[in-house]
Chains A and B, each alone.
Chain A
């Protein structure tokens, strides 16, 4: 820090030479990292959320090696067995190992949530940026977004899935459509603020193209709120996916997904409570991980929102 201060002193000898500048940049970056790390570890939700998320990621990525069993392997003799040392979570109505199915189901939920969060963030970013920047597009795009936003999420997703037919790909498409408006709205409002800044006016003055202004100068200022919202959509998409699969309008049956497992659990809720408890808990853990992580991200990336929130 001292070296930077010294070079900025008015009586210091002029512009620093290139090697000094590089060293200063390096130091600045190191200090930024240190500050980031300190803020990260100061936020309880960020730490717990990331730890849980890491757990979910490890379980999802290592699913085949973790259990060593086939989630589809039938074993009718051992059907509806309670948890035991042989199968820790018990078995389902076809004798399939529930732990294996919960692990694969978690993986499926994480996959769908991730795909939806990425896809809706990208599409929402484009729509939000152009709506915020181009006046006449704003009217058209945002009316469509408002219309989509007016539906309760589960309802719109069910209706679209009914038409498209149940499959993982269709589910991702439908959930993306459902969640694009919330991203687009947030990006648009950040873009509207950024557009009015003096530096954008300066860009116009030096003759930068519209696309250059949008992507190089407005887009970066919309990223923080976008990433935070994206992490909440991850969680939300997992819940809606589970609800749809539970209702039979999501991922088709033999594929293990947390919603499908819960839907099986419902049929045997009287005598085989483990078929409900374990998939239910897994779903709660995944969503909790994402929500805590999102809270933590907001603390880190968007400290202003947090301070404003605290003041309230």
Chain B
């Protein structure tokens, strides 16, 4: 077990390293002098030079990366030039709405995908199975942000059931909070559900082919018992992996959705920073989300190895 954890941790380090180098190098994609670009046309050479000094652009590249990643690992992602606050504070302020949205979307995805996938797998070729095929094509075809604009048109503009946009924190009451989040969460969650349902189905079918399922059937286990006690328990691994991995996709998807619904989350922070060319925030957000994404996947893998001894012995 310890060996498995160690190996898995070691394999993650190069990924995180490469990832951080890519994020670091992003500002070197800027054509010309990053400091001059950030300050705009009217800036005097002195101000530009001062910002260059502040950003550490005059140091050798390796030293720059070293200081940057050293600070980042201690949680210091630099300062936002425009918001006059640290990137860390900005991230913390914008994390809540995005997490709320991602969690709610994930719940919606699981609630739709599990029953649909299970049903489709246990009744292959029947209505539920065909519905799933259509639904998963829908999921990969309709982008979340297009779906959300269509839901806004239907539920907010036409039917006037829900607010068009905005965000209320959970401290304003759970119902108000959900009212503002439900449309964006559905748009994100339905698309995710399509992907997840397909994984549920195929991983259920893998297990249904095992001989112990035949044994269970032969000894007279009912269909419910078979699905929930014998098949689903063994089919969890790919399902959980996809759920864990989807958090990164959901947070990235939230970036686009948030700008439609005017939700003050990390996506909006990122988009605003892109417009302001506030590179330290851009780097901070991207680094944070990508790290979180890799780490969530790592935790899911490790958790699974703890639960299922077959994994760590492989």
Contact = CB atoms under 8 A, between A and B. Distances in A.
B140 A291 contact: yes
Contact of A248 (B140, B142, B275): B275
A162 interface: yes
B153 A269 contact: yes
Given A155-B286, A243-B256, A163 B293 contact: no
Interface string A144-181: 10111011111110111111110000000000000000
Contacts of B18: 143-144, 146-148
Contacts of A265: 149
A284 B142 contact: yes
B239 to A, nearest CB: 14
Given A160-B29, A247-B256, A150 B289 contact: no
A287 B143 contact: yes
A108 interface: no
Interface in B122-168: 137, 140-143, 145-146, 149-150, 152-153, 157, 164
A150 to B, nearest CB: 5
Given A283-B143, A287-B141, A150 B29 contact: no
A152 B290 CA distance: 7
Interface stretch (A115-123, A211-219, A272-280, A297-305): A272-280
A239 B271 contact: no
A302 to B, nearest CB: 17
B23 interface: yes
Chain B interface helix/strand/loop/mixed: helix
B149 A280 contact: yes
A242 interface: yes
Interface string B281-306: 01101100110011000000000000
A246 interface: yes
B248 interface: yes
B22 A152 contact: no
B197 to A, nearest CB: 14
Contact of A159 (B26, B141, B205, B256): B26
A125 interface: no
B83 interface: no
A239 B275 CA distance: 21
Interface residues of B, number: 55
Interface residues on A, range: 35 or more
Contacts of B248: 152
Contact of B274 (A249, A269, A280): A249
Contacts of B274: 158, 161-162, 247-249
Contacts of B164: 269-270
Given A150-B19, A291-B137, A266 B206 contact: no
Contacts of B17: 147
B271 A248 contact: yes
Contacts of B141: 235, 284, 287-288, 291
A167 to B, nearest CB: 11
Contact of A266 (B15, B142, B260, B282): B260
Contact of A239 (B143, B249, B285, B289): B143
B270 to A, nearest CB: 6
B14 interface: yes
Contacts of B202: 309, 312
Interface string A55-70: 0000000000000000
A235 B150 CA distance: 20
Contact of B26 (A154, A163, A235, A292): A163
Contacts of B177: none
Contacts of A143: 14-15, 18
A106 B163 CA distance: 31
A154 B293 contact: no
Contacts of A162: 26, 273-274, 277, 279, 282
A262 interface: yes
A270 B165 CA distance: 12
B145 A243 contact: yes
Contacts of A151: 19, 22, 286, 290, 293
Given A269-B149, A276-B149, A283-B143, 13 more contacts: A143-B14, A148-B18, A152-B252, A154-B256, A156-B22, A158-B282, A159-B23, A162-B26, A163-B29, A242-B145, A243-B143, A246-B259, A269-B157
Interface of B: 14-15, 17-19, 21-23, 26-31, 137, 140-143, 145-146, 149-150, 152-153, 157, 164, 202, 205-206, 209, 248-249, 251-253, 255-256, 259-260, 270-271, 273-275, 277, 279, 282-283, 285-286, 289-290, 293-294
14 contacts: A143-B18, A147-B18, A147-B21, A151-B19, A152-B290, A158-B270, A163-B279, A164-B29, A164-B31, A235-B141, A246-B259, A266-B260, A283-B143, A312-B205
